[in-house]
Amino acid sequence: MNPDINTGANAFSGLPEDALPSPAELFDMTGKVVLITGGSRGMGRAMSLAFAKAGADVIVASRKIEPCEEVAELIRAMGRRALPVACHVGKWVDIDRLIETAFAEFGKVDVLINNAGMSPASPSSAQVGEALFDKVVDVNFKGPFRLTALIAARMAQAGGGSIINISSLSAIRPQPAVSPYAGAKAALNAASVGIAMEYAARGVRVNVIAPGAFATDISRGWSDPEAVRMRAALERVGDPREIVTAALYYASDYSGFTTGANLRVDGGRL
């Protein structure tokens, strides 16, 4: 390492120049508190369980409490703490309550994953009603924006943290049937970069994952599953567990030089 270059404080500070933590240490989440919206199903469920296995305590938030409680029980069986919370992320009053509940229980949030979303299809843009449009924007942009903004401020006061916003490939490869969803996710991408820049000097990192087609509950509504599968170079859809390593990477303290990034996890979408 060039001794004239000041790399600043980071997770490697204090280690010998050639020292590299083991893979398990790189992704060790022991002592961290992770808040995951949409954490009871699909990719959210996979991330909730994965972060618990990595040593984290997990706040599982979703609109319905029963699935959250189910995942929380699985996490507790691993010897970790878990807090299930019912929260409609499109409603700021629910978001405020979620934050207060999380901090009352754990006193901090080290990692926030905004995973909750919805992508209803419409026959045409002209047939999108105002109520549906507002609901799509509320869940996919307004809510995640609010959670990111409020949690980032608290993280900054505590010395730092990692925020991961689950966007969509639709934000950069929009399809006609889901243009409001694509627009909302594109807005989330832009806001994520803005907030990343706002808090970078205070130790808060904000990054985006852009999934392609995954085999979650949404896939049951696909009109042509074969066409969806063939859009990817890998000629398949993703398993929800295949999002986990991307999230762990962003969450790791050893990824401290990554902020404002957008990682595609899409099977090589053509």
Q: Report which of residues 109 and 220 the model is more confident about.
A: 109
* 3 has pLDDT over 90: no
The overall pTM is greater than 0.75: yes
CB-CB neighbours of 184 under 10 Å: 28
pLDDT of residue 213: 85
Going by pLDDT thresholds of 50, 70 and 90, the confidence category of residue 1 is low
Cβ proximity of 12 and 39 under 8 Å: no
What is the spatial distance between Cα 137 and Cα 187, in angstroms, rounded to a whole number? 9
In this predicted model, what pLDDT tens digit does every residue of 232-258 receive, in sequence order? 889 898 899 999 999 999 999 999 999
Query: CB-based contacts of 152: which residues, under 8 Å, 6+ apart?
Result: 161, 163, 195, 198, 199, 204, 206
Percent of the chain whose pLDDT exceeds 70: 95
Question: Cα separation of 151 and 217, whole Å?
Answer: 28
Average pLDDT of the chain to the nearest whole number: 93
Domain residue spans of the chain = 29-214+239-265
Q: What is the mean pLDDT of residues 145-158?
A: 98
- 216 C-beta neighbours (distance < 10 Å), count: 20
Residue 24's pLDDT is: 93
pLDDT score for 251? 98
pLDDT band at residue 177 under the 50/70/90 scheme: confident
- Tens digit of pLDDT for each residue in 217-235? 776 665 667 776 778 889 8
Known catalytic residues are 181
The CATH code of the domain at 29-214+239-265 is 3.40.50.720
Euclidean distance between CA atoms 101 and 157, whole angstroms: 18
pLDDT of residue 223: 61
Confidence of residue 265 (pLDDT cuts 50, 70, 90): very high
Give the pLDDT score at 221: 63
